[in-house]
Structure 1
């Protein structure tokens, strides 16, 4: 989970909200976690328990998911994806 300071929120609201649209982010104040910012859809899934995502162990992962996973591992091995996320 990414972290931002409350100062970051004031200075870079677009970056913080973009990150929160993908996954919940922690907002810190005085180096301590204070808030969690997330998309409304994510919040609704938490409230209603309607999250339909599934968890798979690697050996039992569907083939299409394994292909995506392998592609991302290759991308990270090339040094892409560290700090260059939108």
Structure 2
């Protein structure tokens, strides 16, 4: 997810909104994502359960998918 600082949001609102029109963007304060800006269409899909994401059991992940998930979780832990 693309991330903007709260200062960038204040100074470059048009750029932030243009990016959010394409996909959700994070707004960070003190280097940590605190908010998400997304289009109305994306928000409505989430609200109405039309989110196309799916869940899978960890045993159904390929080795590459499992490793990518572990790496992402470790990065989240390290940067939290």
What is the TM-score with the length of structure 1 in the denominator? Answer: 0.58
Which residues of structure 1 form unaligned runs of 5+? 54-86
Which residues of structure 2 form unaligned runs of 5+? 54-80
1:19 aligns with 2:19: yes
Partner Cα distance (1:25, 1:3) in 2: 6
How many residues are paired up?
53
RMSD between superposed Cα atoms in Å: 1.5
The residue that corresponds to 2:38 in the other structure is 38
Misfit runs of 4+, over 4 Å: none
